[in-house]
Amino acid sequence: MNFAASATRQRAAGLVAELQERICSRILDLERATAAAAERAASAFTVDDWESPPSERGIAGYGSTRVIAGGAPLEKAGVNTSVVTGAQLPPSVVAQRPELEGHGFFAAGVSVVCHPCNPHAPAAHCNYRYFEAQAPDGSRSAWWFGGGADLTPYYPVLDDVRDFHRALKAACDRTNDDFYAEFKNWCDRYFYLPHRNEARGAGGIFYDYIDAERGTRDELFAFSRAAGEAFVRGYFPIVERRAAQAFGERERSFQLLRRGRYVEFNLLYDRGTLFGLQSGGRVESILMSLPPLVRWAYDERPQPGSVEDALQEYLQPRDWFAEDPFA
């Protein structure tokens, strides 16, 4: 297969590159403003552009891994793209689409994870991707979009959660009136730690295998772009306003403990992480999602009624736009 084999593939590769630029540039603005206020040099992205020749499994491609470490307001941020083709759709896809067994694939995606310094600022993630399957005779057999964005607060503020969801909802509503409710529920089910009986965070949207039944390809490209834009507009203002909020050892300690749940989710359940590692993906690019510093402590629980205890209320599915989501 050839990366430039179709205008659509070029368009998908272009879209993820564009979203990467947009998100990196927003992060750099934040880092520069914080650095200027502190009269020091701003953090910069470490950029690793990679290209991989066909692996044993016939997967080849290229991408760009961009990471900031030790910044402020972001202790760690990663914004990655990858554009790959493979001779065989992975088992995780075939399990859901058995008619595509033995088909080749093309995938272009952008993946973002932000771990802020300030425990009052939530962590967040987004991922947007376009897939094509190709029959052995070379014809395109299917195409679909997948993606999502979710917010992981440690000291949650209802207005922050609402702002994040509102931005995503606006992007959904512009394409299809059903998308937000559907993708919000999907997110609540996906970012869930069954062993802890809690969600990873306050949700967002998640979707996969979205194809011609839900919109034209043009409409769905526009939706991916809008959802990426919604992440920028819905998330970074929260980081901005929480970055100056005072915190001490107590808040830092709770943030590090809660980051442990983030690691548990990503290594135990996240299909993207597991697929990437199992299919011989670029390990450091995949694991850039893990927080910079993490703590595990035996059976440490917040005091009932404490501000840390209040987080639990946010880790179950809620209608964030209800007058009182906790009623």
- Contacts with its own copies, residue ranges (CB under 8 A): 46, 48, 65, 67, 69, 76, 78, 195-196, 256, 260, 263-264, 267-268, 274, 277, 283-284, 287-288, 290-299
β-partners of residue 115 are 76
Residue type, 84: V
**How many Cβ atoms from other residues are within 10 Å of residue 80's Cβ?**
24
Q: Is 50 exposed, middle or buried (0-12, 13-18, 19+ CB in 10 A)?
A: middle
* Catalytic positions, written as ranges: 125
Q: How far is the CB of 317 from its own copies (least distance, A)?
A: 21
Q: How far is the CB of 262 from its own copies (least distance, A)?
A: 11
Q: How far is the CB of 163 from its own copies (least distance, A)?
A: 28
Rounded Cα gap, residues 273 and 94, in angstroms: 17
Q: Is 185 exposed, middle or buried (0-12, 13-18, 19+ CB in 10 A)?
A: middle
How does strand 60-69 pair with strand 46-52? antiparallel
Q: Which lies closer to its own copies via its Cβ, residue 165 or residue 200?
A: 200
Rounded Cα gap, residues 163 and 160, in angstroms: 5
Q: How far is the CB of 95 from its own copies (least distance, A)?
A: 17
Q: Which lies closer to its own copies via its Cβ, residue 297 or residue 310?
A: 297
* Rg (alpha carbons) of the chain, rounded to whole number: 20
Q: Which lies closer to its own copies via its Cβ, residue 157 or residue 287?
A: 287
DSSP string, 27-63: HHHHHHHHHHHTTSPPP--EEEEEEE---TTS-EEEE
Q: Which lies closer to its own copies via its Cβ, residue 92 or residue 245?
A: 92
Q: How far is the CB of 275 from its own copies (least distance, A)?
A: 12
User: 290 is written with which tokens?
Assistant: 């893990």
Q: Which lies closer to its own copies via its Cβ, residue 85 or residue 285?
A: 285
